[in-house]
Amino acid sequence: MSQQLGTLDDLPQDYRDDMTKAGVAPLWPMMRNVLPHGQPQPVTKTGHWKFDKLRPLLLRAGELTPVEKAERRVLVLSDPGRGTGAMQATSSIYLGMQLLLPGETAPAHVHTPSAVRIMVEGTGAYTVVDGERLPMEEGDLVLTPGGEWHDHGHDGDNPVIWLDALDLPLFVYLEGSYAKEGPLQAQRNRPDASQVEYLAAGLAPTRSRVSARKYPMMRYPWARTEPALRAMAAHGEVAELDYVNPETGADVLPTMGFTAMMLGSGDTDTPPLRSTSSAFHVIKGKGHSIINGHKIEWTNKDTFTAPVFSEITHHAEEDSFLIRVHDRPLQDRLGYYEERSR
């Protein structure tokens, strides 16, 4: 039975003062703040960042702030529920839009949080992770897992822009976030694993257990994702593919998960309510999503978010491709991931 709990005002002032002096506080007036009934009460609010608004701001940052002064030239997408400057887009997901100009490098560092790059615009950029050079073409997903050295470079002729998704809020909350800097890495003279070892689904190189890599493939080329989605969509409605470790089939990172979705022109997708928060990035297409009654009209390269347990309906007005970022791997580890039907 739900009981009305006592409030602070029920307590005499001298008792409240004595508690404050002793460094304690009563639980019961705050109980429902931390343990609401039935489902969480998220602080996070749906956000929508239109790329045509972000792009000029990012290019201006390129004029105003040399990469040496920024280390990473990024505009942070702040959760509207927490306000501008919030270093998170949802409870667990950090998003930033990063610019690298031709010839620039972003210095090598390693940090405890994991990052994923979703390529938004331009060609010729690359990320080096543990000596492996990962080309970044539009739509590619590139992993820089926590604890792996990484730097970014750009051999092309035009600005490149990508979306960073990090599990940074979690690491900040845990007081576990820190970085180390180092020299640019030597690059192995060999194409990345997606081009050599994992060219076909279901086939992985025969290896000795001793040489097993924790992150065997760190680049997921869009050139292969889109045909896979189109083939699935041709035989069903909405197609959605998980990004997985090609050796184990497990999620690509310990805390964050990623899917690629295709909604054909005219398709509607009504996923179950999920205990995860999510971010959606439109690789290309046009449509709208209704998130808890809030309509978001999205187009190419836009990004939007949904808090935990959101009611979400997507509708595509043309063939549309989205990447969904979520925190189900973390929730699976904590043992509370949940879906509810609508």
Q: How many residues bind ligand GTQ (CB under 6 A)?
A: 8
Question: What is the smallest separation between the CB atom of 164 and ligand GTQ, expressed in angstroms?
Answer: 4
Question: What is the smallest separation between the CB atom of 272 and ligand GTQ, expressed in angstroms?
Answer: 30
Backbone dihedral angles phi then psi of residue 109, each to the nearest 5 degrees: -150, 170
Backbone dihedral angles phi then psi of residue 168, each to the nearest 5 degrees: -55, -45
Task: Write the CA distances from 333 to 115, 253, 308, 336, integer angstroms.
Answer: 19, 12, 17, 8
Beta pairing partners, 15: none
CA separation for the pair 11, 139 (Å, rounded): 58
Q: Return the DSSP state at 175.
A: T
Question: What is the smallest separation between the CB atom of 156 and ligand GTQ, expressed in angstroms?
Answer: 18
Q: Which is nearer to ligand GTQ, 55 or 72 (CB)?
A: 72
Question: What is the smallest separation between the CB atom of 167 and ligand GTQ, expressed in angstroms?
Answer: 11
Residue of this chain nearest to ligand GTQ (CB atom): 96
Q: Does 148 bind ligand GTQ (CB under 6 A)?
A: no
Backbone dihedral angles phi then psi of residue 319, each to the nearest 5 degrees: -55, 125
Q: How far apart are the first and last CA of the chain?
A: 25
Query: Per-residue x/- marks for ligand GTQ, 46-75, CB under 6 A?
Result: --------------------------x-x-
- Of 121, 214, 109, 212, whose CA–CA distance to 166 is shortest? 109
- Binding to ligand GTQ (CB under 6 A) within 155-174 occurs at 164, 166
- Binding to ligand GTQ (CB under 6 A) within 87-146 occurs at 96, 98, 111, 115
- Interface residues with ligand GTQ (CB under 6 A) are 72, 74, 96, 98, 111, 115, 164, 166
